[in-house]
Structure 1
Amino acid sequence: MSGWIIAPVIIPAMAAALLLLLRRSPNLQRQVSLAATALLWLASARLFMLATEGDVLSYRLGDWLAPFGIVLVLDRLSAMMILLSGILASAVMLHAIRGWDEKGHHFHPLFQFQLMGINGAFLTGDVFNLFVFFEVMLIASYGLLLHGGGPRRLGAGFQYVAINLLGSTLFLFAVGIIYGVTGTLNMADLAGKVGQVSAGDAALLRTGALLLFLVFALKAALVPLHWWLPTAYASAPAPVAALFAIMTKVGAYAIIRVFTLVFGAEGGAAASIAAPWILPAALATLAIGAIGVLASGVLVDLVCFAVVWSMGSLLVAVSLFDARSLTAALYYTLHSTLIGGALFLLSDLIAARRGRWRDDLEPSPAMANATILGSLFFLAAIAMSGLPPLSGFIGKLMILDATRTSRAAGWIWTVVLATSLLVIIGFSRAGTTLFWKSEAVAGALEPPPPARAGSMVPAAILILGTALLSLSAGPVTRHLEATAQQLVTPQSYVDAVLGRPAPAQRTTEMR
């Protein structure tokens, strides 16, 4: 059954190549892209079911034995992330085919290449191929960001390209340093060889590890490397911004994967290399994100800063690198990806119905479909800000509970709760301005474009996903506990890739 592992990479790759040939046939492009996305979702669901059995599976491309060949690895974490990617992509595609994809010939091929890069990053078992899939993902995202054109997107695109080129350069430096010290880039092989590095090379290896962390923190929009996100996401087309909701999670995933597998969790080198940097930066991310939410005068900007804020919450939990905190981080990853995507789609729906006011946070004449949109926005705001009973509340409680024994628990609880209050105020102000105050404004809007049947369904699906996370919090948490335990005891991953136990790690030399 390990042959299924390559499906989330090969399906979008083949679909993208076919879609390039169909660029002059928009209707046929839509059909192929919808079919490929649905097939990807089914394959991801199948892999998720395989991973729940508890075994780690590997797929060797070309049947080259590790650590010399390219290997894809399926465990509970990678299976969860590709399933999440498939769910988000399906909802985003349903929204995009209602008009956004008509603004350029290459939306659908780029969309599929983006999925290929995202899924490849989740499945690869090699640091260099993680770099390769990062580049596939980023090159596709450059084109998607510029989809539809316009000076604002062009300016944001130049900034986005520049910062990611810098990140790619640092990634290559890190890969070169780690390979020079250990002679391998296979993550399972590194799990054993990192502990065998001589004392003279330990500082160099630590430098490579810190450079990797810097690159992953940039992808995860961790303060002070967050500044590109509000500009890029706010300028992107709505379905692109919604898909980008999972791109920050690729950065968080890479931190979790590399610093639990390669450098060891639960007091290993991960605790000495990454944790001292993650926690203060995550608390600063919470503060900057919450202030941005409160200060935003445009709805899409508010959503962008809410995404930054949510990454702070997620990385606070990651910083402890133990099974309990990782469980909380993974639950919050599911929640924040779904609700972030939903809010970007809702922002687009609201802007399309407010005429010249678009999504500016100022009163306007009442919009079409205000009741339904207001209800969806109300639910999304509750979920994002962490109010009961939706998944944001449960995720926030799990994070607070997981960190209560930390030496920094006082700081964590204070910052998390204080910034949550600011975010609640920011979303409350936005909702009352868009829906309640607008009811009292006299006049009539310019006729909005005709609403297409089912235009609100994709956002509603993602919001429903957060409700289901709440209703099934018990079984979901138990699955995530098993996932976190698999992360902090990675021997099964190493054995699945190498076919033999890795040497015991000796991480004290790196401290």
Structure 2
Amino acid sequence: MTHWLIAPILIPLLGGILQVFMGYAPISLRRTLAITCTVLMLAATIVLLILASDGSYRVYAFGNWQPPFGIVLVLDRLAALMLVLTSALGLFCHIYASGGADEGNRQFHALFMFQLMGLNMAFMTGDLFNLFVAFEVLLIASYGLLMHGGGTARTVPGLHYVTLNLVGSSLFLIAVGMIYSVTGTLNMADLAVKIPQISGKNLNLVKAGGMMLLVVFSLKAAVLPLCFWLPKAYARATAPVAALFAVMTKVGIYAIIRIYPLIFGEGAGELANLGMDWLFPLALITLSMGVIGALGAKNLKTLVAWQVIISVGTLLAPVALGSVAGLSAALFYLVSTTWTVAALFLVSELVASQRGAAADTIVIAPRMHHRTFLSVLFFIGAVSAAGLPPLSGFFGKLLILQSVAPGAEMAWLWGVVLVGGFLTLIAYSRAGSMVFWWNVDGHLETPEPMNNRVAVSTGMLTCLTILIVFLAGPLSDFTRATAEQVYDNQGYIHILETPMHTPENASPGEVN
């Protein structure tokens, strides 16, 4: 049992607790502590990624209580990928926030650290109830972050966000209770063993619980018709918060990927592929709705918020088809779109700070300061988001298109993705040309000087899109191996059979 597994949770937990008691400390000290904790967390997750790359499952049992009775953390390739993705995003968002966005709230960094802790806990837990706990931790922190900066403009979207997530949490608890009443367990590996044995009246109860969980995860992922809360909430949040929230919808997608192939997969008997027939068309409709919203966006942050919904539909469509190739392509695209969308949120805020009263509104205005630098960053993000070569978004969408077998699903997926990509390109072209290219004569009130921290963090996060291109081969190999591991249910179920003190030099497929 390796203690490295608790590092992604323990580091932000301790950092958040220290921040709570340092609310009146100099802001420079709070920023230094926050960035230090995030750097340590990124280093720990990279170590876990290296450990997980051998194909083993590693389990940490709190109090040494063995599954399915104890609280366990499970590390595999999927969890490690999501941890590194989140940690890298969190680091650049934290650096950006230290440029001034964290002012006005003494507990901003505490909330930020607790948000990261909740995200990491969700990616590593091996228990449905602890997944609910992780959701609540990250959601409670997100409520405070969403309202950071004050202003009535954030009150109504924040209220919608809180209300819908409270409803989702209630449904989550009810669904978990229904499943537990039949199976007597909430450990994911144990559920994968017991659910195929269920029959009779209990079958309908578990089916109802499974469908309710799918609704909850769809709400977290912002799947139509549960997506209309997202554009206003994300567009009104401060830039580093909106950028961090780019990974929030991926938590819902992760939960679907983690739970449904394992618990309701091919070996689940009458409950096999539960809800997937509904998920595929809903994903395509969600993608289409996101494109329509992007075409009608009035400012850059709203445009990027609708891009989040576009990415959700693009991700879930191949996942719903239930193939290794589809999941591998979706995971590749997930890494690309998360960092790309987050970078675009930061770029949009920088544009707003340099255009005076015009802010990030998609209108013709006097020429902004630092136009060349900002236009290049926006261009890179827009090209990747629209799925054009040679950036990572193109490779992600290409892999998704190649992953589907010939048939009706292929026709629908290709049609919606290609047409949606073309219309998304139009939306970004319109926004970019009006904001950066077309200018009117006039005087622009002098903007605040661009802080080096916000400029560097935005540029580095944008460059991750380019880095993915150079690492496309290794990343594609890793996502392929990850997809194969996800669909190998027996490897995950083997957690139940292996004590936690198994030597760490176990061969791939075994448990550490």
For 1:490, the aligned partner's letter is N
Task: Give the match's secondary structure for 2:408.
Answer: coil
Aligned equivalent of 1:505: none
Q: How far has the Cα of 1:115 moved from its partner?
A: 0.3
- Matches of 1:268 and 1:363 in 2, distance apart? 59
Q: What is the distance in 2 between the residues matched to 1:203 and 1:220?
A: 25
1:137 matches 2:125? no
Give 1:240-251 correspondences, 5 Å limit. Answer: 240-251=241-252
Evaluate the alpha carbon distance shift between residue 188 and residue 328 of structure 1 in structure 2; reply closer, same or farther with a 3 A threshold: same
* 1:118 counterpart residue number: 119
- The answer for the alignment partner of 1:314 in structure 2 is 315
Taking a change above 3 Å as real, the CA distance of residues 353 and 196 of structure 1, as seen in their structure-2 partners, is same
**Partners of 1:228 and 1:100 in 2: CA distance:** 23
Matches of 2:257 and 2:66, distance apart in 1: 25
Provide the residue aligned with 1:473 in structure 2.
Answer: 472
Gaps of 5+ in 2: 500-512
Q: Offset of 1:498 from its aligned partner?
A: 4.1
Partner of 2:261: 260
State the SS of the aligned residue for 1:73. Answer: strand
SS in 1 for 2:246: helix
**Offset of residue 409 of structure 1:** 1.2
Matches within 5 A, 1:213-224: 213-224=214-225
* Cα deviation code 1:253-273 (max 9, x no counterpart): 000000011112599767631
Q: Which residue of 2 aligns with 1:412?
A: 413
Hey, what does 1:198 align to over in structure 2? Answer: 199
Q: Which moved more, 1:462-471 or 1:347-356?
A: 462-471
Q: What is residue 92 of structure 1 aligned with on the other side? A: 93
> Using the alignment, how far apart are the partners of 2:455 and 2:314 within structure 1?
28
Per the TM alignment, residue 405 of structure 1 is displaced from its structure 2 partner at its CA by: 2.9
Residue equivalent to 2:377: 376
In the other structure, the counterpart of 2:10 is 10
2:358, 2:270 → 1: CA distance?
52
Q: Secondary structure at the match of 2:160?
A: helix
Residues 41-60 of structure 1 aligned to structure 2 (within 5 Å): 41-60=42-61
State the SS of the aligned residue for 1:419. Answer: helix
CA shift, 1:200, in A, is 2.2
> What is the aligned partner in structure 2 of residue 443 from structure 1?
442
What is the letter of the counterpart of residue 7 of structure 1?
Answer: A
Distance 1:44 1:159, change over 3 A: same
Distance 1:338 1:210 in 2: 30
Matches within 5 A, 1:33-432: 33-265=34-266, 272-432=273-433
Write the letter of the residue equivalent to 1:49: I
**1:110/1:362 CA distance change after superposition, 3 Å:** same
Question: How do 1:16-27 residues align onto structure 2 when only pairs under 5 Å count?
Answer: 16-25=16-25, 26-27=27-28
Q: What letter corresponds to residue 3 of structure 1 in structure 2? A: H
TM-score, structure 2 length as denominator? Answer: 0.95
Question: What residue is the counterpart of 1:461 in the other structure?
Answer: 460
SS at 1:456's partner residue?
A: helix
Retained in 1: the 8 A contact 2:196–2:268?
A: no
- The residue type equivalent to 1:450 in the other structure is P
Deviation at 1:465, TM superposition (A): 1.2
| 8 Å CA contact 1:58, 1:497 repeated in 2 | no
C-alpha separation between the residues in 2 aligned to 1:127 and 1:30?
A: 34
In 2, the alpha carbon distance for the partners of 1:153 and 1:327 equals 37
Q: CA deviation at 1:458?
A: 1.5
For residues 170-216 of structure 1, the C-alpha deviation after alignment (integer angstroms, 9 at most, x for no partner) is 00010000000111000010010011112221111110000000000
Paired residues of 1:383 and 1:391 also in contact (CA < 8 A): yes
Which residue in 2 is equivalent to 1:506?
none
Q: Does the 8 Å contact 1:91/1:458 carry over to 2? A: yes
| Matching residue's letter, 1:258 | I
Contact 1:252 1:315 in 2 (8 A): yes
1:406 Cα deviation (Å)? 4.7
In structure 1, C-alpha distance between the alignment counterparts of 2:321 and 2:207, rounded to whole Å = 19
Indicate how the Cα distance of structure 1 residues 270 and 13 shifts in structure 2: closer, same or farther if over 3 A, else same. Answer: farther
Instruction: Verify the 8 A CA contact 1:85 1:246 in the aligned structure 2.
Output: yes
Question: Is the contact between residue 263 and residue 269 of structure 1 (CA under 8 Å) also seen in structure 2?
Answer: no
Q: Give the letter aligned to residue 2 of structure 1.
A: T
1:59 partner SS:
strand
Cα shift at 1:16: 0.4
1:489 aligns with 2:485: no
Q: Match of 1:58, SS?
A: strand
Q: Deviations over 1:338-366 (max 9, x none)?
A: 00100000011000000000000001111
Give 1:24 shift.
0.8
Query: How far, CA to CA, are the matches of 2:145 and 2:48 in structure 1?
Result: 28
What secondary structure sits across from 1:475 in the alignment? helix
Counterpart-to-counterpart distance in 1, 2:464 and 2:268: 35
RMSD: 1.3
Corresponding residue for residue 503 of structure 2: none
**Residues 110 and 140 of structure 1 are in contact (CA less than 8 Å); yes or no, is this contact kept in structure 2?**
yes
Deviations 1:314-340 (A, max 9, x none): 011111111110001100110111001
Ranges in structure 1 where 5+ consecutive residues have no aligned partner: 501-511
Between the aligned partners of 1:286 and 1:95, the Cα distance in structure 2 is 30
Question: What SS class does the counterpart of residue 165 from structure 1 fall into?
Answer: helix
Distance in 2 between residues matched to 1:74 and 1:328, nearest whole Å: 21
Q: Judge which range, 137-146 or 491-500, deviates more.
A: 491-500
Q: Which amino acid in the other structure matches residue 14 of structure 1?
A: L
Distance change >3 Å, CA 96–CA 489, structure 1 → 2: same
Q: Is the 8 A contact 1:383 1:390 kept in 2?
A: yes
Quote the Cα distance in structure 1 between the aligned partners of 2:364 and 2:268: 53
Alpha-carbon distance change, 395 to 270 in structure 1, aligned in 2, over 3 angstroms: farther
Counterparts of 1:267 and 1:358, CA distance in 2: 53
TM-score w.r.t. the length of structure 1 is 0.96
Q: 2:508 maps to what in 1?
A: none
Q: Give me the identity figure in percent.
A: 47
How far apart are 1:424 and its partner, in Å?
0.2
Quote the offset at 1:103 in angstroms.
2.0
* Alpha-carbon contact 1:189-1:498 (below 8 Å) kept: no
Contact 2:98 2:453 in 1 (8 A): no
Name the aligned partner's letter for residue 11 of structure 1.
I
Whether the 8 Å contact between 1:48 and 1:79 is mirrored in structure 2 is yes
Q: Which moved more, 1:21-30 or 1:258-267?
A: 258-267
Distance 1:268 1:435, change over 3 A: farther
- CA distance in 1 between counterparts of 2:130 and 2:57 reads 19
